[in-house]
Amino acid sequence: MTRFGRVHLVGAGPGDPELLTLKAHRLISRAAVIVHDRLVSAEILDLAPEGAELIPVGKAPKRHPVPQEAINRLLVELATSGRSVVRLKGGDPFIFGRGAEEAAALHAAGVPVEIVPGITAAQGAAAASGVPLTHRGLATGLRLVTGHCRADAPLDLDWAGLADPETTLVVYMGAASIGEIAGRLIAHGLAPETPVLAVASATTAQERRLTSDLAGIAGAAGAAGLSGPVLFIIGRVVGLRGCGAGALIARLAAGGAGAAAGALRV
């Protein structure tokens, strides 16, 4: 009877090695094989033990050198050879990481799978920038969406639902489509002056940020030439960026959360 190895689907977090979970760090430091995405930082891969096999299978926009089906087969082959495998993904493996597809393929092949969550890019970018994703009186909900559809299909999102001023909207993989996204949101009622924060390569030494409003974000991001993975945070909470806790508390005390929402601008 063949003895299968185990596959760990591990979230590598947004880039900073210090934002790895303790479990992720332990698994990486003991791994025999690491199958990793493009967005996993070199500093995190350096944690692998000497002699570990590192297999890159990363994707880029409109460039998928290793198709998802081939990645699924590779993970099954490695595990059925008896090896213990770390499948390392940027952020969290189950948030726009296709982790569920890989887990399903492994389960179908009878391979044991363990999911190790990671800090997703929305959390990392927001925390590094001092922006709360939710805040009483400003944002009572949070929605995460992708700005890039499978096989480059047209975006088909719930535009009316997303254009909710009480919600913080975070767009992953949206650098190429942020103009269309902004236009659709404005057309469905979201104010053109809604603040937006764009963060490239969040929590790494290459991190860059810019702020604009919804009407101007596409032009601002294009002029800045942001490279690497870019994440967009859209909503009134972006107005809290750079506002010290004391100033924020004073504004809230003076006029309530509504006054703070109107006074704080990018």
**Which pLDDT score, from 0 to 100, does residue 241 have?**
86
- Summarize pLDDT for 241-263 with one digit per residue, the tens: 865 544 544 555 454 444 444 43
Residue 1 located in a structural domain: no
Residue 93 located in a structural domain: yes
Residue 2 located in a structural domain: no
Residue 87 located in a structural domain: yes
pTM listed for this prediction = 0.86
Are residue 227 and residue 154 in the same domain, yes or no?
Answer: yes
Q: At what angle do helices 99-108 and 68-80 cross, to 10 degrees?
A: 40
pLDDT at position 221 over 90 = yes
- Tell me which of 50, 84, 116 is where a domain ends: 116
Which helix (H) or strand (E) element contains residue 200? strand 195-200
Residue 161 located in a structural domain: yes
Point out the residues that are catalytic.
37, 59, 173
Residue 53 located in a structural domain: yes
Are residue 14 and residue 102 in the same domain, yes or no?
Answer: yes
Residue 178 located in a structural domain: yes
Are residue 35 and residue 49 in the same domain, yes or no?
Answer: yes
Are residue 69 and residue 133 in the same domain, yes or no?
Answer: no
Could you list the residue range(s) of the whole structural domain that residue 141 is in? 121-263
The total of structural domains in the chain comes to 2
CA dist 58 and 38 (Å) reads 4
Joined tokens for residue 29: 């430091």
**Which pLDDT score, from 0 to 100, does residue 257 have?**
43
Q: What is the CATH number of the domain that holds 250?
A: 3.30.950.10
- Tell me which of 93, 116, 139 is where a domain ends: 116
Are residue 87 and residue 130 in the same domain, yes or no?
Answer: no
DSSP structure class, residue 148:
S
Joined tokens for residue 211: 């702020």
Q: Where are the beta strands (DSSP E) in 148-202?
A: 167-172, 195-200
- Summarize pLDDT for 64-107 with one digit per residue, the tens: 578 999 999 999 999 999 988 999 999 999 999 899 999 999 99
Q: What is the CATH number of the domain that holds 92?
A: 3.40.1010.10
**Which pLDDT score, from 0 to 100, does residue 4 have?**
79
- Tell me which of 96, 116, 136 is where a domain ends: 116
